[in-house]
Chains A and B, each alone.
Chain A
């Protein structure tokens, strides 16, 4: 296969990954890397570099919509970005000294955990503004969100535990070249008990900033091959936009089940690849 054909194939796979990511609520990054490694035989380090760039692209592209809606909580996002960016730097420094086979195994495990997290029911239990963590109050984290034309206030719980889990999410982002949105949502939704809409919008803002903290290290280590980043980033970006449009008409529930099964199989194959076993 010549390079133009190869790039078209990569761009199409990336489009699919971005579309899927938008439809089932996983980031494109965590789907595209296994695709590049398993289907295209690309070295995992180049795949991670390209995926990380595509994560930044989609986060920046989608942030606009979220910001305009006024549901993302910028104060929470910025405060937690201290944890995720420092985590991402640690993760990236770890990634560049780690054996690629070990990375593949960790990647597969993280992918499985992501699937489990996205199957988990959203916790409905919110906290009242008055019942917020005192630290949240002094940081002015509680805010309000628009619900059916009214401004409804919400509280914020467990700031320190949330901050720590965010650091871990940052480490995973830098280590694996993913946005680690599922882990960020875990911290904000389950631990800090924020409303789900606020969580997803804020997480999207944070993903790009987090990814930007490790991309410099990837660049210096030669993980960014422009001729691979280009088709991947363009494909994922286009797929994410298409996915956001399709979200209202697609049979999302059915797609979710089908694709979560598919992603689990990919995860197992990634682990097998890392362990040097070949299956399927």
Chain B
């Protein structure tokens, strides 16, 4: 498992840093269009549906004229961040599978399945 642990560690750190960078750029991009507005998180109003769809977010983030949707770029970074743990579990499971450790390949698969299902609930 040792070589695998190091690979896992690299994936996690790189993933986190890339996601953080995108979030930071996205935040600046968003703020550059909203520099004089008041913050609006005091009242809960939910978030629009397209913020669940990475393809739509990517399109909207750079849509000319629709500056209100620049925070979509931030959301893409957040998505990358959120993908980190499932990837971690998947890689660990694959590692167990290659080591012919069936018991732990199955345990990892169960955890991965719960994560997957939770995204569709």
Residues of A in contact (CB 8 Å), total 65
Known A82-B110, A225-B47, A234-B23; judge A1-B39 contact (CB<8 A). yes
Q: Which residues of B contact A214 (CB under 8 A)?
A: 118
Known A3-B39, A93-B121, A208-B85; judge A224-B51 contact (CB<8 A). yes
Question: 1/0 contact trace for A69-83 toward B, CB 8 Å?
Answer: 010001100110110
Instruction: Output the nearest chain A residue to B6 by Cβ-Cβ distance.
Output: A68
* Interfacial residues of chain A within 188-235, with CB under 8 A of chain B in the complex: 205, 208-209, 211-217, 219-231, 233-234
How far is it, in angstroms, between the C-alpha of A178 and the C-alpha of B12 when the chains are bound?
Answer: 20
Q: Is B81 an interface residue (CB 8 A)?
A: yes
Determine if A53 and B35 form an interchain contact, defined as CB atoms under 8 angstroms apart: no
**Which of B2, B24, B43, B114 touches A234 (beta carbons < 8 Å)?**
B24
How many whole Å from B2's CB to the nearest CB in chain A?
7
Q: Is B46 an interface residue (CB 8 A)?
A: yes
Known A139-B103, A219-B52; judge A60-B118 contact (CB<8 A). no
Determine if B31 and A7 form an interchain contact, defined as CB atoms under 8 angstroms apart: yes
Determine if B81 and A56 form an interchain contact, defined as CB atoms under 8 angstroms apart: yes
Known A213-B114, A220-B121; judge A75-B104 contact (CB<8 A). yes
| Consensus secondary structure, chain B interface | helix
Known A4-B35, A70-B2; judge A217-B121 contact (CB<8 A). yes
Determine if B6 and A82 form an interchain contact, defined as CB atoms under 8 angstroms apart: no
Q: Is A111 an interface residue (CB 8 A)?
A: no
Q: Which residues of A contact B51 (CB under 8 A)?
A: 219, 224, 226
Can you list 24 A-B pairs, Cβ within 8 angstroms, ordered by A? A2-B37, A3-B34, A7-B27, A7-B31, A46-B41, A57-B16, A60-B81, A60-B84, A63-B12, A63-B88, A64-B13, A67-B9, A74-B5, A85-B115, A140-B103, A209-B89, A212-B86, A216-B119, A216-B121, A219-B52, A220-B52, A222-B46, A225-B41, A226-B72
Binding site for B on A (CB under 8 A): 1-4, 6-7, 40-43, 45-46, 53, 56-57, 59-61, 63-65, 67-68, 70, 74-75, 78-79, 81-82, 85-86, 88-89, 92-93, 100, 139-140, 205, 208-209, 211-217, 219-231, 233-234, 237
Shortest beta-carbon contacts, A-B, top 3: A222-B46, A212-B85, A216-B119
Binding site for A on B (CB under 8 A): 1-2, 5-6, 8-10, 12-13, 15-16, 19-20, 23-24, 26-27, 30-31, 34-39, 41-48, 51-52, 71-72, 74-75, 77-78, 81-82, 84-86, 88-89, 92, 103-104, 107-108, 110-111, 114-115, 117-121
